[in-house]
């Protein structure tokens, strides 16, 4: 029986436990935020990214709302801020504008979508698709002399409209290309502090593929159609009438030994979350895209299987069967997980943080005269 006096005896303990719990949650979110991903950026913006922004909002609110633990560095009010105005919100997708501060502690960056900040902004960000081929969607007033206009695009040239007027207009490029002024990745690998143990998630499927944009003319579709004659491929996504929510994605993909990380088009440096997410989930990606060498510019050569390494889809299928039967061989593709961790990037806000950082540290005058030949060749 609980008497009033024993209740009051326990109350301090209860309060301590609650406080500790809150603190641990806070610490966890602060130190190890879950990677955010954008997948199938054009087609499933609404679903996948609502998830992203909700999580981010929760994270940053919890951090901001409680500074009593002294974990958050207070903004130095005398420090000059760098202002980046996102002129057209990418895909209309709202985001947590405090992200740069909460995630990277960049309290000197102000990311805004408020067009009234035009004359104060150090840089303007323009998302290519949202220009909609019409430069009248861009500011029409004289640009402040110091202001840099940034062209932002994460889609490949095949899926980006090339239109007149893009040349002699922007100052900087923010893009997945390594030679962009501000390179923006879909994901990246970072070395872990200490070697860690990797536990293989339980696997119930052999090869999986999730596709929302199924196009019979894509190189990837042709490859898949031949591959499935020789090996069972479990298919998901709107392309197959099986919608996959962001929450289901991890469950499905981690349960597959292999995942078809087939890009929608083949371009240098164009390696998307289609590879990084399976990598992060402990699934071996089978890639179709740029060359093996180019993949190896970003991730270890033994972390993926490249379709180009096989004479035919049948040969690839035979090899996957071999790996399926031999755990030693299969696990070699996951050895790197002891040493590296995969980070996803939050679309579009994380790229905006990078852009802001760039504006802050690089004060050079720059004009980009030939965007069209650089991007579309």
Ligand X SMILES: *[C@@H]1O[C@H](CO)[C@@H](O)[C@H](O)[C@H]1NC(C)=O
168 sits near ligand X (criterion: CB under 6 A): yes
Taking CB atoms, the residue at the shortest distance from ligand X is 367
Q: Of the two residues 65 and 373, which places its CB atom closer to ligand X in the complex?
A: 65
Place of tokens 């406080």: 19
Q: Are 210 and 253 in contact (CB under 8 A)?
A: yes
Q: How far is the CB of 82 from ligand X (least distance, A)?
A: 14
The 10 Å Cβ neighbour count of residue 239 is: 17
Q: Which range touches ligand X (CB under 6 A), out of 124-132, 267-275, 323-331, 344-352?
A: 323-331
Interaction between residue 376 and ligand X (CB under 6 A): no
Of the candidate spans 87-95, 116-124, 129-137, 324-332, the one that interacts with ligand X by CB under 6 A turns out to be 324-332
20-46 burial code (b ≥16 CB/10 A, e <16): eeeeeebeebbeebebbbbbbbebbbe
171 versus 261: smaller Cβ distance to ligand X: 171
Q: What is the dihedral of CA 155, 156, 158, 161, to 10 degrees?
A: 50
At 251, list the tokens: 């469950």
Our finding on whether 148 is near ligand X (CB under 6 A) is yes
Q: How far is the CB of 124 from ligand X (least distance, A)?
A: 10
Closer Cβ to ligand X, 34 or 370, answer by number: 370
Cβ proximity to ligand X, 125 vs 281, nearer residue = 125
Residues in contact with ligand X, total (CB under 6 A)? 14
Catalytic residue among 40, 155, 263, 350: 155
Q: Pick the stretch among 30-38, 168-176, 255-263, 293-301 that binds ligand X (CB under 6 A).
A: 168-176
Which residue lies nearer to ligand X by CB, 343 or 372?
Answer: 372
| Residue 68 engages ligand X in binding (rule: CB under 6 A) | yes
Distance (Å, whole) CA 319 – CA 324: 9
315 catalytic residue (yes or no): no
- Cβ contacts of 9 within 8 Å, gap of 6 or more: none
CA distances from 184 to 37, 63, 90 (A): 13, 26, 15
- Phi, psi (5° rounding) for residue 102? -70, -35
The candidate with the shortest Cα–Cα distance to 343, out of 256, 279, 289, 292, is 279
Selected range binding ligand X among 97-105, 117-125, 167-175, 204-212, rule: CB under 6 A: 167-175
Among 66, 94, 215, 363, the residue binding ligand X under the rule CB under 6 A is: 66
**Cβ atoms 109, 360 nearer than 8 A:** yes
Task: State how far the Cα of 126 lies from the Cα of 370, in Å rounded to an integer.
Answer: 17
Q: Which stretch binds ligand X (CB under 6 A): 156-164, 199-207, 238-246, 359-367?
A: 359-367
Residue with Cβ nearer ligand X (156 or 171)? 171
- Say how far apart CA 282 and CA 341 lie, in whole Å: 11
Q: Does 366 bind ligand X (CB under 6 A)?
A: yes
**Pair 172, 368: CB distance under 8 Å:** yes
Cα angle, residue 251 at apex, residues 249 and 254 outer, rounded to 5°: 100
Would you count residue 60 as binding ligand X (CB under 6 A)? no
194 binds ligand X (CB under 6 A): no
Q: Is 329 in the site for ligand X (CB under 6 A)?
A: yes
CB 151 within 8 A of CB 351: no
> Footprint of ligand X on this chain (CB under 6 A)?
65-66, 68, 146, 148, 168-169, 171, 326, 328-329, 365-367
Looking at the annotation, which residues are catalytic? 155
């Amino acid at each position: 029986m609980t008497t009033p006096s024993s209740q009051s005896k326990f109350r301090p303990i209860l309060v301590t436990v609650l406080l500790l719990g809150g603190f641990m949650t806070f610490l966890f979110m602060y130190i190890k935020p879950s990677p955010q991903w954008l997948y199938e950026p054009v087609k499933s913006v609404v679903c996948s990214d609502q998830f992203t922004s909700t999580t981010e909002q929760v994270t940053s609110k919890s951090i901001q709302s409680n500074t009593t633990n002294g974990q958050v560095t207070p903004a130095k009010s005398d420090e000059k801020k760098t202002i980046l105005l996102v002129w057209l919100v990418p895909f209309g997708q709202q985001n947590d504008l405090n992200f740069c501060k909460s995630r990277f502690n960049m309290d000197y960056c102000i990311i805004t979508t408020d067009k009234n900040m035009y004359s104060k902004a150090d840089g303007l960000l323009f998302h290519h698709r949202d220009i909609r081929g019409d430069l009248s969607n861009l500011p029409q007033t004289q640009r402040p002399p110091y202001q840099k206009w940034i062209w932002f695009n994460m889609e490949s040239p095949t899926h980006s409209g090339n239109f007149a007027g893009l040349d002699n207009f922007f100052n900087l490029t923010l893009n997945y290309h390594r030679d962009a002024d501000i390179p923006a990745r879909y994901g990246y690998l970072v070395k872990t502090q200490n070697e860690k143990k990797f536990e293989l998630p339980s696997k119930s499927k052999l090869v999986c593929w999730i596709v929302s944009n199924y196009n019979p003319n894509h190189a990837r579709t042709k490859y898949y159609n031949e591959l499935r004659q020789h090996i069972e491929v479990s298919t998901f996504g709107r392309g197959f009438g099986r919608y996959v929510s962001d929450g289901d994605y991890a469950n499905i993909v981690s349960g597959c030994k292999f995942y078809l990380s087939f890009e929608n088009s083949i371009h240098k440096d164009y390696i998307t979350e289609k590879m990084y997410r399976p990598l992060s989930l402990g699934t071996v990606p089978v890639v179709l895209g740029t060359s093996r060498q180019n993949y190896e510019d970003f991730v270890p050569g033994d972390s993926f299987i490249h379709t180009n390494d096989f004479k035919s889809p049948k040969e690839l299928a035979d090899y996957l069967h071999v790996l399926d039967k031999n755990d030693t061989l299969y696990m070699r593709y996951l050895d790197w997980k002891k040493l590296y961790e995969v980070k996803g990037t939050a679309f579009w806000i994380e790229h905006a943080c990078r852009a802001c950082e760039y504006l802050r540290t690089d004060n050079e005058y720059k004009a980009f005269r030939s965007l069209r030949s650089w991007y579309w060749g």
